[in-house]
Amino acid sequence: MSIDKTDTAGRTGKAHAPVDAPAAAGDASVAIDPRLLVREQGFAGYIGEFKRKMRAGDLGATPVVIGLIVICAIFQSLNSAFLGAENLNNIFVAMVATGMMSVGIIFVLLLGEIDLSVGSVSGVSAAITAVLSVTHGVNEWLAVLAALAAGAVIGALHGFFFARIGAPAFAVTLAGLLFWNGFMLQVLGSNGTINIDGEGVVGKLTTYYFSDIAAAYGLAVVAVAGYFLSAFLGNRRREAAGIPSRPLSEIVLRTVLLAIAVFAVAIMFNQYKGLPLAVLLFAIVLVATDFLLRRTSYGRKILALGGSVEASRRAGINVTAVRISVFAIAGLFASVGGLFWASKIAAANQSAGAGDLLMNVIAAAVIGGTSLFGGRGRTWNALLGVLVITSIQYGLALQGIATPIQYMITGGVLLATVVIDSVTRKTQKSAGRA
């Protein structure tokens, strides 16, 4: 027996190897974590991880970022004014109305549903605000609040018919598109157009600029510092929990890249009129809704519903309440977008919410990376998608391209995005089975 013990000790080199084995096994399980291996390999590891994600169909925001760069390069080569401060400023301000509505649509798309009524609801919002404040002399702030409340109630009503009654969301919101368009026409009356005060609350949404250069640079500093602190503190929490986290060098690199982007935008704003109020409000909405979706239990419930309704129900999620609230959010943001559109044209009229608005709102969400099949997307997708659409529109306008051609090109971009989304899902399923 003593010979066996000596032999065992000799082979292992540790007399207490059996006692230390569990700890060693634990270390081994951490060491083989793919995220740790990637980070240990440095830059080459990230390149390999990027290639793996591409093969698996995990494209993220890569296609839309590349597309945006290509769009800018093409239009700049055709017209040197495209990347000028004035044109870029106009693009950023013009995108906010559609972007706000697209944020609401993203919430609905995360459920795997659709809302076709947002264009008409935006028109109702503008009509209510104009009639109350201009025709009846109601305080404009109260008129705005009434319009926003109306949008949320309308959305909740659609959600009720869908979630409680069981009617398809497509049919319910299609009926809403027609009904609320008629309601808007009724509210506006025979005149059909009500001009709003350009110096009022709504009028300044798209015309007010913070002319002090400190405003744009200050927002850039807040954005960069906020990102760094969020990433750094998040890493500290992950390390405390024993979960793989990014090294400090990676956080610093990401922060530097973000700083380059946001300070470039700040410089562009200050070369024109300064920081637009519309862009500031849109940034606040994106940060707040992203936090809601990713950092709260409510947001996780929405994502869970998009993955599997039955599994969510069995997990104790109140499916009906979440669905109704999501459609209420879509209605609220449709109303917000309607106010920005009214500000842009300084009026509420019968054409509000018509034309290609609905298509652009949905297209912005999908082009930005939100899946039509539910369960995947972030509110930041609205920013990327609406930037693509608005850049195309302004670029074509600079070239004097007719509106029908603009529609066809935008439709082609949307179709390509949907195809990429479908192919991506199939690739991810194949990779998962493999």
Q: What is the pLDDT of residues 401-433, one digit of tens each?
A: 887 887 788 788 778 777 776 776 676 666 554
Q: Which backbone phi and psi does 249 adopt, to 5 degrees?
A: -60, -35
| pLDDT tens per residue across span 82-135 | 999 999 999 999 999 999 999 999 999 999 999 999 999 999 999 999 999 998
| pLDDT tens per residue across span 208-249 | 999 999 999 999 999 999 999 998 898 888 888 877 777 888
Distance separating alpha carbons of residues 374 and 366, to the nearest angstrom: 11
* Identity of the residue numbered 308: S
Question: In whole angstroms, how far apart are CA 54 and each of 157, 238, 285, 363?
Answer: 41, 26, 31, 23
Helix (H/G/I), strand (E/B), else coil: 347: strand
- List residues bridging with 210 in a β-sheet: 275
Query: Which of the 8 DSSP states describes residue 369?
Result: T
Distance separating alpha carbons of residues 66 and 339, to the nearest angstrom: 32
Distance separating alpha carbons of residues 174 and 116, to the nearest angstrom: 6
Beta-strand (E) ranges in 223-297?
275-276
Question: In whole angstroms, how far apart are CA 24 and each of 12, 27, 28?
Answer: 13, 5, 6
Distance separating alpha carbons of residues 51 and 55, to the nearest angstrom: 6
pLDDT bin (cut points 50, 70, 90) of residue 16 is: very low
Half-sphere exposure of 5 (CA within 13 A, CB side): 4
pLDDT of 279 strictly over 80: yes
Chain centre to alpha carbon of residue 75: 25
Chain centre to alpha carbon of residue 367: 10
Asked if residues 385 and 367 have their Cβ atoms less than 8 Å apart, the reply is: yes
What is the Cα gyration radius of the chain? 26
| pLDDT tens per residue across span 162-188 | 999 999 999 999 999 999 999 999 999
Distance separating alpha carbons of residues 367 and 418, to the nearest angstrom: 8
Q: What share of the chain is helix, strand, coil (3-state, %, to 5)?
A: 75, 0, 20
- φ/ψ bin of 426: left (φ > 0), alpha (ψ from -120 to 50), beta (otherwise): alpha
Rounded to two decimals, what is the model's pTM? 0.84
| pLDDT for the residue 23 | 45
Chain centre to alpha carbon of residue 36: 29
Token digits for 314?
């069995």
Q: In which residue are the tokens 């793996």 written?
A: 52
pLDDT of 39 strictly over 50: yes
| pLDDT for the residue 1 | 44
Asked if residues 120 and 177 have their Cβ atoms less than 8 Å apart, the reply is: yes
Distance separating alpha carbons of residues 91 and 386, to the nearest angstrom: 10
